[in-house]
Amino acid sequence: MAATIKDIAKLAGVSPGTVSRVLANKVGFFSEHTGEKVRAAAAELGYQKNTAAAELVTQQSNVVAAIVNSTKTNFASPIIEGIQAEAHRHDLNVIILYAGDDDSEQQRRALTTVIERPVRSILLLSVDLAAENLTLLQNSRIPFCFLSISFDEIQVPYITSDDWQVGYQATQTLLKLGHQNIGLAGVDSDFHTGRQRVAGYRQAMQEAGITVQPEWIQLGNYSYTAGQAAMRAYGANSGLTAIIGASDMAAVGVLNTARSLGYRVPTDLSILAIDGTEICELVQPALSSISQNFYEMGVAGVQQLCAPGELPQKITPIKLVERDSLQRNG
């Protein structure tokens, strides 16, 4: 139904090849006169290019796909913004797919819809791919890069913050304020990211000569409810004077539950969030955070995929952002 290059050719009285060259603006391949004719015909027919067909013959595409693990993770937004901005600079288009939360079936669906189509490269935002899906991805021979997640067991390109440093610096920040009994809430220990954060935390505590009590580390999945659960586990008489939320959401969970348990924040209890997204500024008191540069991760992700040969694993910087949820102890 839609007009094709052939319709234009017929209307303008030239060959399809010529139309293609005019529309692609291959200068030097057609006269002023035919250029005019073709463009007029195209406009008259309301021509829309069928890029899929073009990609079929050129065997290349200018779309990069971003697969994100959940609609709920709030840090995906700045990463995507970074991707969009940098993609724009390289004249690439971005499509986004949601892969659900650790649902390997949904992951597979998202993955195949992009693999089966001509996409130039794939960015995976914080998605922990099931083993069979990783093989699928690797077999596709499409360049890819993980963002905001790291691995130790497998050798794949990724860009993320130094999670060990995240844990270490968070803990150091609180130690410097005189805190000794410091909790770590909502962190998961199943994946590399969480393990690294815990390791950084432990190292900082050890250097300060403090023995970490087992109950100080409350595991979870970084969610709001994980933060709530952690705080309930600490209880009203935890003896803690500071808590690190393993994510912003976890920190908010800690904050709200601590309040309902009777803590005043930051007077009785300091809270330090990890991530530093928008949500830190929305709650009161605004949460101080070890902030990741998510935007930069997105930018670096598409750069890495545009300039192969670069080293495949990159670390983006983190920094402490002071807001209102920390207070010196004693």
CA separation for the pair 288, 230 (Å, rounded):
19
State yes or no: residue 327 binds its own copies (CB under 8 A).
no
- Residues in binding contact with its own copies, number by CB under 8 A: 43
E-strand ranges in 55-150 read: 63-68, 93-98, 121-125, 144-147
Concatenate the DSSP letters of all residues of 233-277 into one string: HH-TT---SEEEESSHHHHHHHHHHHHHTT--TTTT-EEEEEE--
CA separation for the pair 35, 47 (Å, rounded):
15
- Residues in binding contact with DNA, number by CB under 7 A: 32
State yes or no: residue 20 binds its own copies (CB under 8 A).
no
State yes or no: residue 113 binds DNA (CB under 7 A).
no
Pick the closer one to DNA by CB: 17 or 178.
17
State yes or no: residue 53 binds its own copies (CB under 8 A).
yes
Q: Which of residues 7-36 bind DNA (CB under 7 A)?
A: 13-21, 23-24, 28-34
15 binds, among its own copies, DNA, none (CB under 5 to 8 A by kind): DNA
**Binder among 45, 54, 130, 306 for DNA (CB under 7 A):** 54
**Binder among 51, 104, 203, 329 for its own copies (CB under 8 A):** 51
State yes or no: residue 53 binds DNA (CB under 7 A).
yes
Identity of residue 28: G
Q: Is 301 helix (H, G, I), strand (E, B) or coil?
A: helix
Beta bridge partners of 190: none
Beta carbon of residue 132, minimum distance to DNA (angstroms, whole number): 21
- What does DSSP assign to residue 114? H
Identity of residue 143: P
Structure tokens at 83: 């991707």
Q: Which of residues 134-193 bind its own copies (CB under 8 A)?
A: 139-141
Binding site for DNA (CB under 7 A): 2, 4-6, 13-21, 23-24, 28-34, 47-50, 53-54, 56-59
